[in-house]
């Protein structure tokens, strides 16, 4: 595992930290492979009860690395899709701490987390439409399920930013903290507290909370990925990526 994804066990919590702050934690194919390995480790370990997901630096994640996207083949076996499928099928609770920008998959991954804390400077967006792309990560349905269909329509069809107040008021995040250090402290403390419950009861509770939806979400992620893969090949998407990378 590279140092772009840090993994540290603290008691019965596995802390997974996205760690590419110089590129705003934009995610590459190799980083998705690391994330898959980290989440699978948490899922399979008898010692881990809860995952705590966070990032280093001022931004949670600028989403997919657009340069990497232009160079890497995309299909259902791609590490990014495998990451989403792995996260969606986690049976152990995942607590996420989000600060600064959370763009694209930086937001959609949160839809598979069980508790999401944010800092007051959070700025979330799903700007697929601005990039010639379509919703991914289950967001075409899960965003509406979490926040209501009118908000999901607005966010996905305009790609506009969602600031802390709106995120909290619409239930996109559980709670907002004044600064990022408090955010990380509180999210870490919550993960620790939750991890004191037995693994059996945590897993059984999450299973009840998710109900039957996991298999539907898996199918949705694959369906979205198929359309997303076609859009990635479009001139519209390539031009949008070029425009960002050559600003
Ligand atoms: N892919 C590749 N590189 C990215 C990136 C991405 N998604 N997001 C940021 N970077 C790189 C920039 O190219 C820049 O690299 P450089 O220092 O070598 O020039 C570096 O990260 C810093 O980014 P910058 O835009 O200067 O930081 P900022 O603080 O002004 O803005 C963001 C932060 C997140 C708001 C802005 O980087 C952004 O909008 N990123 C693109 C988000 C996006 O469209 N993601 C895809 C969603 S599908």
- CA separation for the pair 114, 174 (Å, rounded): 10
Contacts with 214 (C-beta within 8 Å, 6 or more apart), sequence order? 88, 89
- CA separation for the pair 127, 140 (Å, rounded): 13
Domains of the chain with bracketed CATH: 5-180 (3.90.226.10)
Which two three-digit tokens encode residue 62? 């600028």
Residue 42's pLDDT band, with cuts at 50, 70 and 90, is very high
Which of 62, 67, 130, 225 to mutate for ligand 1's pocket (most ligand atoms within 8 Å of CB)? 62
Q: What spacing in Å lies between the alpha carbon of 133 and ligand 1's midpoint?
A: 17
Q: Is the pLDDT of residue 86 over 80?
A: yes
Please name the residue whose Cα sits nearest to atom 38 of ligand 1.
62
- CA separation for the pair 70, 173 (Å, rounded): 31
Q: Does the CB atom of residue 104 touch ligand 1 within 6 A? A: yes
Least confident of 69-73, 129-133, 221-225: 69-73
Contacts with 25 (C-beta within 8 Å, 6 or more apart), sequence order? 18, 19, 55, 56, 57, 59, 60, 61, 62, 106
Residue 107's pLDDT band, with cuts at 50, 70 and 90, is very high
Residue 2's pLDDT band, with cuts at 50, 70 and 90, is confident
Q: What spacing in Å lies between the alpha carbon of 46 and ligand 1's midpoint?
A: 38
Q: What spacing in Å lies between the alpha carbon of 131 and ligand 1's midpoint?
A: 14
Atom in ligand 1 nearest the alpha carbon of residue 128: 48
Q: What spacing in Å lies between the alpha carbon of 62 and ligand 1's midpoint?
A: 6
Q: Does the CB atom of residue 122 touch ligand 1 within 6 A? A: no
Q: Is the pLDDT of residue 1 over 80?
A: no
Q: What spacing in Å lies between the alpha carbon of 23 and ligand 1's midpoint?
A: 6
Q: Is the pLDDT of residue 25 over 80?
A: yes
Q: Over pLDDT 70: what percentage of the chain?
A: 100
Rounded alpha-carbon distances, angstroms, from residue 166 to 102, 133, 174? 14, 24, 11
The predicted-structure confidence for 110-144, as pLDDT tens digits, reads as follows 999 999 999 999 999 999 999 999 999 999 999 99
Q: What spacing in Å lies between the alpha carbon of 65 and ligand 1's midpoint?
A: 8
Mean pLDDT score of the chain: 97
Q: Does the CB atom of residue 62 touch ligand 1 within 6 A? A: yes
Q: What is the mean pLDDT of residues 52-73?
A: 96
Q: Is the pLDDT of residue 212 over 90?
A: no
Q: Does the CB atom of residue 102 touch ligand 1 within 6 A? A: no
Residue 211's pLDDT band, with cuts at 50, 70 and 90, is confident
Q: What is the pTM of this model?
A: 0.97
Q: Is the pLDDT of residue 240 over 80?
A: yes
Please name the residue whose Cα sits nearest to atom 12 of ligand 1.
23
Which residue is it, tokens 């890497």?
Answer: 72
Length of the chain, in residues: 247
Please name the residue whose Cα sits nearest to atom 8 of ligand 1.
62
pLDDT score, position 223 = 98
For 235, other C-beta atoms within 10 Å of its C-beta total 8
Q: Does the CB atom of residue 24 touch ligand 1 within 6 A? A: yes
Rounded alpha-carbon distances, angstroms, from residue 75 to 81, 82, 138? 8, 10, 16
Q: Over pLDDT 90: what percentage of the chain?
A: 98
DSSP class per residue in 101-138? EEETHHHHGGGG-SEEEEETT-EEE-GGGGGT----TT
């Amino acid at each position: 595992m590279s140092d772009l994804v840090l993994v540290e066990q603290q008691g019965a919590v596995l802390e997974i930290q996205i760690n590419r702050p110089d590129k705003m934690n934009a995610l590459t194919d190799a980083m998705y492979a690391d994330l898959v390995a980290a989440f699978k480790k948490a899922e399979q370990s008898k010692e881990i009860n809860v995952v705590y997901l966070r990032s280093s630096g001022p931004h949670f994640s600028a989403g997919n690395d657009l340069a990497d996207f232009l160079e890497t083949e995309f299909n259902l076996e791609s590490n990014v899709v495998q990451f989403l499928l792995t996260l969606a099928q986690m049976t152990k609770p995942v607590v996420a701490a989000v600060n600064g920008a959370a763009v694209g998959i930086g937001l959609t991954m949160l839809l598979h987390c069980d508790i999401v804390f944010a800092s007051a400077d959070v700025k979330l967006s799903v700007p697929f439409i601005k990039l010639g792309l379509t919703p991914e990560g289950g967001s075409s349905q899960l965003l509406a399920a979490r926040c209501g269909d009118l908000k999901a329509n607005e966010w996905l069809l305009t790609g506009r930013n969602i600031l802390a107040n709106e995120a909290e008021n619409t239930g996109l995040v559980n709670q907002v903290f004044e600064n990022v250090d408090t955010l990380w402290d509180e999210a870490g403390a919550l993960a620790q507290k939750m991890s004191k419950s037995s693994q059996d009861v945590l897993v059984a509770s999450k299973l009840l909370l998710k109900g039957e939806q996991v298999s539907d979400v898996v199918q949705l992620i694959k369906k979205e990925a198929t359309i997303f893969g076609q859009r990635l090949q479009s001139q519209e998407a390539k031009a949008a990526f070029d425009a960002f990378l050559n600003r």
